[in-house]
Structure 1
């Protein structure tokens, strides 16, 4: 059973020392802004960075590349087969533009190793080649596949950043279909594409994800010059109702431009009677999961996700 409540890790208003070191090092190296490289260059640069900062992959996990409803995916499970009848669909982060099966491979291996379950990592179609709502359509198709492939199993959805948005949308979709989910894991999700919350301005520079980055990702995903949407499938915060959704783990970071909307989503879920565990990484930044090879908060985010999923398997 998911342990609910709010957990604060770190000191409010103070960057963790290891995160501050990473930010200073990145500034010293004068790394190129991903958003200036074009979408293909951005993908290469994002993958290169995460290959250096991701956590090590655990042993004892088997993986195979498969197609899920015609969509590239990777299936993970403990060596010798799953220990529990549970399957988790994971959507990677990357602003709907970057990120792939490789960038999030260690995280999915850790989830499978810790829980003894099957984990399916989905490589949904990315923008700008495939704009909104292509990624959502792929995720919905994958969820239908998951339910058919593992009948009677406990099912869950998870994702970080853009993948967290997808997971939140899938939880709403599953409820509307009458498909029970054991858990939704939302790691620093974007749930308000209008960007009205103060943290998007207050923390819009100097903490890895910037307001300019968000604007660039939105332009790729929604279209140049097109205002971000309040459609439920773009901004799940504005769903007509959040009642009856699966229990949720929501991870937010104190120095993330998306922190305000993530915490608003926590309150929206709680107000609708949804069991929620909210973990606030006070001194961390957006994307810390991809820094888990170096920063304690990234390790904590992954450990919280693994523990939550294991608790409902």
Structure 2
């Protein structure tokens, strides 16, 4: 903590209204086409409505999976992409394309004051953060530290800017979005160290009622940061909000077998990402990377948000049960049955995804207050 306070004078702060990723006319036309009535999508599906646990997949999502996601998951396409990832130029191009894709398919968040800063990391790196200040907040408003998803290899503050704006506005909280380092340039534990260092800075400089939130890989970082704070006897977050987090790298689950191909998070891609994030010979801890195998006792209240067509949903349910039964934690688990993994990046055209994002943010803000 002393290290963070002493380095605070080195922070580079540039208050500004962040410039969003703006759609080209062609991109805007694609997005508008996704907003047609549900009946249109049902009439144009290539196959019957898909179901999991008795719930139908949202027709818009099924249409996108059939026409965009699954063709891009073909072996030849994946082999080409992975070959391109081997070069810095290839990774940069892919990350830029994914940032645009995710940002433009997220409902635009409201305008609000933002501050772009860097805070010092323990490895001598500068960690970018963006602080969101919704209008009209009281001085004692809660603070949410947010970690974006992307498999520890993709994603950025800009890509997740629209969804973080929604979270800040609906939670009525200050939100600090963390731009942690990505693999393979920076394998484990770089992202975890950045997540913890950014959290320490927030506690030292903003303080108050601090919650941790994240989606997918960011949910993993939120759990790990809380466990590190517990073990170091540092100030603990007041609560965790975990959107479809990665929680188990050891066990297989029925949902991974049933939904591990064709739903946007294929099992073979999970293995590929893991090989980049955790290269051979790198020792990890379960608390950081596979919390189902970790000691979870002492965590604050946890909210696990799952999707019905996420191959990770069974592991998330197991995590929630374990935390509640073994450690007697205050755990709540909700599953939005018609949605997929990464549904926060579908809110521009899937009404139930937008409703889920907003209601979960409102609930979390109320909890922190």
- If the length of structure 2 is used for normalisation, what is the TM-score? 0.75
Matches within 5 A, 1:26-175: 26=68, 30=72, 33=78, 35=82, 37-38=84-85, 39-59=91-111, 61-69=112-120, 70-79=126-135, 82=138, 84-151=140-207, 153-175=208-230
Whole-angstrom CA distance in 2 between matches of 1:228 and 1:15: 39
Question: Secondary structure of the residue that 2:298 maps to in structure 1?
Answer: coil
Whole-angstrom CA distance in 2 between matches of 1:308 and 1:165: 20
Whole-angstrom CA distance in 2 between matches of 1:282 and 1:228: 36
Whole-angstrom CA distance in 2 between matches of 1:178 and 1:171: 9
Unaligned runs of 5+ in 1: 1-9
Measured on the aligned residues, the alpha-carbon RMSD in Å equals 2.3
Question: Secondary structure of the residue that 1:251 maps to in structure 2?
Answer: strand
Please tell me whether residue 306 in structure 1 is matched to residue 322 in structure 2.
no
CA separation of 1:161 and 1:35: change in aligned 2, threshold 3 A:
farther
**Correspondence for 1:247 among 278, 282, 301:** 301
Please tell me whether residue 231 in structure 1 is matched to residue 286 in structure 2.
yes
Give the structure with the higher percent helix.
2
Whole-angstrom CA distance in 1 between matches of 2:284 and 2:268: 18
Please tell me whether residue 17 in structure 1 is matched to residue 59 in structure 2.
yes
Q: CA deviation at 1:12?
A: 3.5
The answer to whether the Cα contact below 8 Å between 2:226 and 2:236 also exists between their aligned partners in 1 is no
Unaligned runs of 5+ in 2: 1-51, 86-90, 121-125
Cα-to-partner distance string for 1:33-76 (whole Å, 9 max, x where unaligned):
565641333312311211331111123x2112111233101000
CA separation of 1:275 and 1:105: change in aligned 2, threshold 3 A:
same
Question: Secondary structure of the residue that 1:194 maps to in structure 2?
Answer: coil
Query: Paired residues, what number?
Result: 300
Please tell me whether residue 262 in structure 1 is matched to residue 262 in structure 2.
no
Whole-angstrom CA distance in 1 between matches of 2:247 and 2:159: 22
Q: CA deviation at 1:82?
A: 4.8
Whole-angstrom CA distance in 1 between matches of 2:311 and 2:70: 22
Question: Secondary structure of the residue that 1:232 maps to in structure 2?
Answer: helix
Equivalent residue, structure 2, for 1:279: 334
Q: CA deviation at 1:251?
A: 0.7
Larger displacement relative to structure 2 (37-46 or 22-31): 22-31
Larger displacement relative to structure 2 (71-80 or 99-108): 71-80
Whole-angstrom CA distance in 2 between matches of 1:282 and 1:80: 35
Q: CA deviation at 1:228?
A: 9.1
- If the length of structure 1 is used for normalisation, what is the TM-score? 0.88
Whole-angstrom CA distance in 2 between matches of 1:27 and 1:183: 34
Please tell me whether residue 291 in structure 1 is matched to residue 343 in structure 2.
no
Tell me which structure has the larger Cα radius of gyration: 2
Whole-angstrom CA distance in 2 between matches of 1:229 and 1:297: 37
Larger displacement relative to structure 2 (39-48 or 20-29): 20-29
Whole-angstrom CA distance in 1 between matches of 2:358 and 2:310: 19
